[in-house]
Amino acid sequence: MKSLWLIRHAKSSWSLNDLNDSLRPLNERGYRDAMNVSARLKSSGVLPDLMVTSFAVRAYTTAVIFAKQFNYPTQQIQIVDRLYESSTADYLKTISELPDQTATVFLFGHNPIISDTVAVLSGAEGIELPTTGIAKIAFKRDTWRLCSDHSGKLEVFDYPKNGTQAER
C-alpha cells in the first residue's frame, strides 16, 4: 500500500514585484498556515518516509516547516526541478520514480498542476487545493511506477480554513 500526500505550497508574498517568481518567499499567513496544517496532520499519526519538493522558495520553505513538525531531517528533503513550471506528466513521472521502499510520501508543489494531479490519480473531480491544502491519495500498489491514472483513491482533503480533516 502506498500513500501519497500532495501538498500545495503555503501562501507566498507578492510584496517584492521585481523578484523572480521562483524566489518568492512565504508571507506571514503562509508560515502560520503551514505550521497549523502540519501540526494537524502530525496529530493524525501520519509519518512520512520521504519528502519531495519543487525548488521554488515557497514550496521548499513549506516542506521545511512540515519536516520540522515531523522531525524529518531537512537535508533529506529531495528537490526535484521538474516540479516547478511543469505539467501533470512531470508530476506523474516524479511519482513513478519514487523509491519502492517508501510507503508514505509528502510531495510539495504548485497549482494548477498539483490539483490536476489529484484528479488524474484519483478520478476525483472538482478538487482545487488552496494554499497549504493537502490531499492524500491511497494506492493498493506495491510499486510507485504502478501508481497512475485513476489507480488511487482520494482519502483526505484538508486545508487551513477547514479546521479539521475532511475525509471523502
> Running DSSP on this structure, what letter comes out for residue 142?
S
Residue 158 in any domain: the answer is yes
Interval 128-139 mean pLDDT = 97
- The DSSP line for 87-141 is -HHHHHHHHHTS-TT--EEEEEE-TTHHHHHHHHHH---S--PPTT-EEEEEE--
Contact 128, 116 (CB under 8 A): no
DSSP 43-71: HTT---SEEEE-SSHHHHHHHHHHHHHTT
Q: Determine the pLDDT at residue 40.
A: 94
Which residue, among 111, 121, 112, 160, has the nearest Cα to 4 in the 3D structure? 121
17: in domain: no
Total-model pTM: 0.94
pLDDT above 90 (res 17): no
- Is residue 95 included in any domain, yes or no? yes
Dump pLDDT digits (tens) for 73-107.
999 999 999 999 999 999 999 999 999 999 999 99
| CATH code of 49's domain | 3.40.50.1240
- What is the domain extent for residue 152? 2-12+22-167
Kindly state the greatest CA–CA separation across the chain. 46
The proportion of the chain whose per-residue pLDDT surpasses 90, expressed as a percent, equals 86
Question: Does residue 101 sit within a domain?
Answer: yes
Give the mean pLDDT of the chain: 94
Mean pLDDT of 125-147: 95
165 pLDDT above the threshold of 70: no
Does residue 27 lie within any of the structural domains? Answer: yes
**8 A C-beta contact, residue 24 and residue 55:** no
pLDDT value at 166 more than 60: no
Structure confidence at residue 167 as a pLDDT band (50, 70, 90): very low
Residue 126 lies in a domain: yes
Q: How many structural domains are present in the chain?
A: 1
30-78: per-residue pLDDT in tens? 999 999 999 999 999 999 999 999 999 999 999 999 999 999 999 999 9
23: DSSP letter: G
pLDDT band, residue 162 (cuts 50/70/90): confident
68 vs 21, higher pLDDT: 68
Residue 65 belongs to some domain of the structure:
yes
Strand partners, 51: 106
> Residue 40 domain-assigned?
yes
Whether the pLDDT of residue 154 is over 90: the answer is yes
